[in-house]
A and B are shown apart, each in its own frame.
Chain A
Amino acid sequence: MINRRIFLQSSAAAAALAASAGTARADDTPGITDTEIKIGNTMPYSGPASAYGVIGRTEAAYFKMINEQGGVNGRKINYISLDDAYSPPKTVEQVRRLVEDEKVAFLFQTLGTPPNLAIRPYCNANKVPQLFVSTGASTFADPEHFPWTIGFNPNYQTEARIYGKHILATKPDGKIAVLYQNDGFGKDYLIGLKDALGADHAGMIVKEASYETSEPTVDSQVVTLQGSGADVLLIAATPKFAAQAIRKSADLGWNGVRYVTNVSVSVTTVLKPAGLDKSKGLITAYYGKDPTDPRWNDDPGMKEWAAFVGKYMSPTELKDANATYAFGAAATMIQVLKQCGNDLSRESVMKQAANLKDLELPLLLPGMKINTSPTNFSPIRQMQLASFDGASWQLFGELLMG
């Protein structure tokens, strides 16, 4: 059977013979031998969310690099990534195939909120680690109810809390309007913002307006929000709608502070269509180094990334923020495996995933550290604010904890 996997080097068979008297613990766990660690993943390689497919490809390339360097503790990584087309029933099917047929040791970076929600009960019932899920939904950082599922991205609520704190610090008398996408993504921002404002300042939000992804524009929502007299606008919208909101709010001559979700900060796909002049003054929060930002050209982390792309990927993926994201996630995975040493049982992998201490990644902002603990399943919690000066994003202020 052919899979999207990194095939073992031809020497693996010989190595298996030589090392057949290895550790006993490792043999008990599916997907773990003395020469191999089998990792499962699902990605939307086809379907509406296929732009995220690059995440799976980057991770496969990263593990290929690790294998060429000798693997982890002498074990090569066999990364099996299957297409689920972002459809939850298909995700369940593919994950069952990975766990029951391919016998992977654990899952890593399965992508999307609905697909991960669909497989979470299965993973937790069967005690299969569901590591560093590729979604920003806050629900995946819930060790009390789902001890086998751990998040990765700074979640949307964390980000919104950072905006809320910044608003409180800079505009304590501000009147806030919120534009949000009517789904879990958009609503997480609303929840996070309200959380940061607290009961005392809940009245600061003077108007909320939502939109459906099926709507052609959000112009009317922006007009309504402006009519509320708000002087702070939070745009919790995906790229196309964020661009519309940025342009419309500028066209209306709205003089207020505008915050835009980190999801929609691409200069080429959001700010240029909206108009670079009209985007001036926008504020967002970053946690990774923006691959399109020339400021990082001489950064050692970015150079490491460029070298990796040169050797293992296609040049078009050099500037893809999804690819840099995956690079960091794969590095985190390797750190967990290194911490496990020779005890690669599912319990041990889960324990080490929840035991990351001050891990720094090449493509995270300088000074940012990844930390997890048995009670903290949100690995990335820091972000730094940035404002748009008409040409590029300029980081400012301290790293903030949401």
Chain B
Amino acid sequence: MADAENALSLLVTLAVAVIALAFPFVASGYHIYQGAQVLIFAIAMLGLNLLTGFNGQISLGHGAFFAIGCYGAAILMTKFGLPYWAAIPAASAVCFVAGFLFGFPALRFGGLYLALATFALAVAAPQILSYTGFDAITGGSQGITLAKPQAPIGLKLTSDQWLYLVCLASGAALYWAARNLARGRIGRALIAIRDQPIAAETMGVNAALYKTTCFGVSALYAGVAGGLSAIAVGFVSPESFGLSLSLAFLVGIVVGGLASLGGVLFGALFIEFVPNIADQLSVNFGESAKALPGAIYGALLILVMAAMPTGVAGGARAATNAVMRWLASSRPIEVANDGGADVAAKYEGKGESP
């Protein structure tokens, strides 16, 4: 049973990889840009999912780390003349440090209190970025305009295709890293801290170190996403990092499935496309329907969560299990969850907060 599931998951991963690779060569420039946005959101959500899904630390402030990555990369490129491939890792390193440091006060907060503390980050970020004193480097409310990076000479790719592939390569590498992190000793420690903090510490897990490092790594992911967003959009300004961005990330990981790394792709697709769909649907209610896109977005969100309470990943897993059971119904085989893999469902079932 577990073997069949592994084979299926490998198959799905391969299929996604093939589609993702082929996409920029069949789609138009505008769709490739959308694809890059999806990948950027997915990267940020990978980081947030490590923190919230695996480690149980709720962050409403990842938009702020995204902003640091975005501005960091933009400033390094425009003021220090760094190429984008150097600026983005450098900006992400800054994000790691920022996240790691923020992890210390976060140690003192649990659950909702941490959510509020990070919420403050998200609220403060746009204002700090538009602060007059920083105008010389941040461009103030006028923002910073960046030139789009071109594909290396010799590669016959448009700038959109190249950007998409850069995002895809970053996303794949970061997914692989997150997967290894989550599946090994570190992942077990993170989950143990989330579910049974006292037991974990008794077993010798250094909870403070794991939690702060997890915060740092999570911020690093958001920073990479921010940096990529800076070059993909070609413009950064404080308005890009409103509260709604941080909330969208959280919505994305919950829709995709908490503690499901593959689920972030669905989450990213959701936050990229559902607002567009909501805008288009609202036309049916007449031109004077004020604020309807927001209401329709909310209704769609409720629908998705009602249909799949454990997110798309949880829903897909339940569907797969049902199919497996049906296939195996001729043979008496015990249907068992293989412990660690089903963390999302486990997290949902758990009543108390860490």
B6 in the interface (beta carbon within 8 A): no
A29 in the interface (beta carbon within 8 A): no
Considering only residues 25-83 of chain B, those with a C-beta below 8 Å from chain A are 28-31, 33-34, 37
Stretch from B162-170, B237-245, B310-318 at the A interface: B237-245
A256 in the interface (beta carbon within 8 A): no
A100 in the interface (beta carbon within 8 A): yes
Stretch from A13-21, A81-89, A392-400 at the B interface: A81-89
Q: How many A residues are at the interface, by size bracket?
A: 35 or more
Residue pair A2, B284 in contact (C-beta under 8 Å): yes
Give the complex CA separation of A272 and B123 in angstroms. Answer: 30
* B242 touches which of A87, A185, A212 (Cβ 8 Å): A87
Considering only residues 197-227 of chain A, those with a C-beta below 8 Å from chain B are 210, 212-214
Give the complex CA separation of A214 and B140 in angstroms. Answer: 16
Query: Across the A-B interface, how many residue pairs have beta carbons closer than 8 Å?
Result: 129
A28 in the interface (beta carbon within 8 A): no
* B294 touches which of A46, A86, A210, A313 (Cβ 8 Å): A46
Pick the most buried of A117, A139, A184, A317: most chain B CB atoms within 10 A of its CB: A117
Residue pair B33, A96 in contact (C-beta under 8 Å): yes
Residue pair A214, B127 in contact (C-beta under 8 Å): yes
Pick the most buried of B143, B239, B242, B294: most chain A CB atoms within 10 A of its CB: B239
Measured CB to CB, the nearest residue on chain B to A61 is B287
Give the complex CA separation of A248 and B20 in angstroms. Answer: 59
CB within 8 Å for A114 and B239 given contacts A46-B294, A139-B142, A183-B140: yes
B321 in the interface (beta carbon within 8 A): no
Residue pair B145, A121 in contact (C-beta under 8 Å): yes
- CB neighbours of A182 from chain B (8 A): 130-132
Give the complex CA separation of A118 and B237 in angstroms. Answer: 9
Contact with B along A91-131 (1 / 0, CB 8 A): 01100110111000000000011110110111000000000
Measured CB to CB, the nearest residue on chain A to B287 is A57
Residue pair B234, A118 in contact (C-beta under 8 Å): yes
- CB neighbours of A112 from chain B (8 A): 239
B283 in the interface (beta carbon within 8 A): yes
Residue pair A85, B275 in contact (C-beta under 8 Å): yes
Measured CB to CB, the nearest residue on chain B to A98 is B30
- CB neighbours of A143 from chain B (8 A): none
Considering only residues 280-327 of chain B, those with a C-beta below 8 Å from chain A are 280-284, 287-288, 290-294, 297
Considering only residues 136-171 of chain B, those with a C-beta below 8 Å from chain A are 140-143, 145
Measured CB to CB, the nearest residue on chain B to A5 is B283
CB within 8 Å for A101 and B28 given contacts A2-B283, A114-B143, A118-B234: yes
A301 in the interface (beta carbon within 8 A): no
Measured CB to CB, the nearest residue on chain A to B123 is A214
> How far is the CB of B26 from the nearest CB of chain A, in Å?
15
B235 in the interface (beta carbon within 8 A): yes
Residue pair A118, B233 in contact (C-beta under 8 Å): yes
CB within 8 Å for A183 and B130 given contacts A2-B280, A96-B30: yes
> How far is the CB of A7 from the nearest CB of chain B, in Å?
10
- CB neighbours of B242 from chain A (8 A): 47-48, 87
Residue pair A88, B287 in contact (C-beta under 8 Å): no
Residue pair A46, B279 in contact (C-beta under 8 Å): yes
Residue pair B239, A4 in contact (C-beta under 8 Å): no
> How far is the CB of B283 from the nearest CB of chain A, in Å?
5
> How far is the CB of B219 from the nearest CB of chain A, in Å?
20
Contact with B along A281-300 (1 / 0, CB 8 A): 00000000000000000000
A50 in the interface (beta carbon within 8 A): yes
Give the complex CA separation of A285 and B28 in angstroms. Answer: 47
A45 in the interface (beta carbon within 8 A): yes
- CB neighbours of A183 from chain B (8 A): 130, 140-141
CB within 8 Å for A313 and B244 given contacts A45-B293, A89-B37, A89-B233: no
B260 in the interface (beta carbon within 8 A): no
Give the complex CA separation of A115 and B282 in angstroms. Answer: 22
Give the complex CA separation of A96 and B32 in angstroms. Answer: 11
Considering only residues 98-149 of chain B, those with a C-beta below 8 Å from chain A are 123, 127, 130-132, 140-143, 145
Residue pair A117, B288 in contact (C-beta under 8 Å): no
Residue pair A210, B132 in contact (C-beta under 8 Å): yes
- CB neighbours of B213 from chain A (8 A): none
B229 in the interface (beta carbon within 8 A): yes
Give the complex CA separation of A259 and B142 in angstroms. Answer: 25
- CB neighbours of A45 from chain B (8 A): 279, 282, 291-293
Give the complex CA separation of A324 and B28 in angstroms. Answer: 38
Residue pair A82, B279 in contact (C-beta under 8 Å): yes
Residue pair A117, B145 in contact (C-beta under 8 Å): yes
- CB neighbours of A53 from chain B (8 A): 290-291
Measured CB to CB, the nearest residue on chain B to A99 is B30
CB within 8 Å for A313 and B288 given contacts A92-B33, A114-B239: yes
Contact with B along A303-320 (1 / 0, CB 8 A): 000000000011001000
> How far is the CB of A310 from the nearest CB of chain B, in Å?
14
Residue pair A83, B279 in contact (C-beta under 8 Å): yes
A3 in the interface (beta carbon within 8 A): yes
Give the complex CA separation of A50 and B275 in angstroms. Answer: 14
CB within 8 Å for A46 and B143 given contacts A82-B279, A85-B275, A89-B37: no
Measured CB to CB, the nearest residue on chain A to B229 is A89
Residue pair B141, A113 in contact (C-beta under 8 Å): yes
> How far is the CB of A62 from the nearest CB of chain B, in Å?
11
Residue pair B291, A3 in contact (C-beta under 8 Å): no
A1 in the interface (beta carbon within 8 A): yes
Give the complex CA separation of A47 and B295 in angstroms. Answer: 11
Measured CB to CB, the nearest residue on chain A to B131 is A182
- CB neighbours of A121 from chain B (8 A): 145, 234-235
Residue pair B239, A86 in contact (C-beta under 8 Å): yes
Residue pair A89, B140 in contact (C-beta under 8 Å): no
> How far is the CB of A111 from the nearest CB of chain B, in Å?
12
* A212 touches which of B34, B37, B127, B145 (Cβ 8 Å): B127
A60 in the interface (beta carbon within 8 A): yes
* B37 touches which of A3, A93, A114, A210 (Cβ 8 Å): A93
Known: A88-B143, A121-B235. 8 other contacts (CB 8 A): A2-B280, A50-B294, A88-B237, A89-B232, A92-B234, A93-B33, A118-B234, A120-B145
A-B contact pairs, 28 of them (CB 8 A): A2-B283, A3-B280, A45-B292, A45-B293, A46-B293, A47-B294, A50-B290, A57-B287, A60-B287, A85-B244, A87-B242, A88-B237, A89-B233, A93-B34, A96-B30, A97-B30, A99-B30, A100-B28, A100-B30, A101-B31, A113-B141, A117-B145, A182-B132, A183-B130, A183-B140, A184-B141, A210-B132, A214-B127
The 3 closest A-B pairs by CB, nearest first: A118-B235, A83-B279, A183-B141
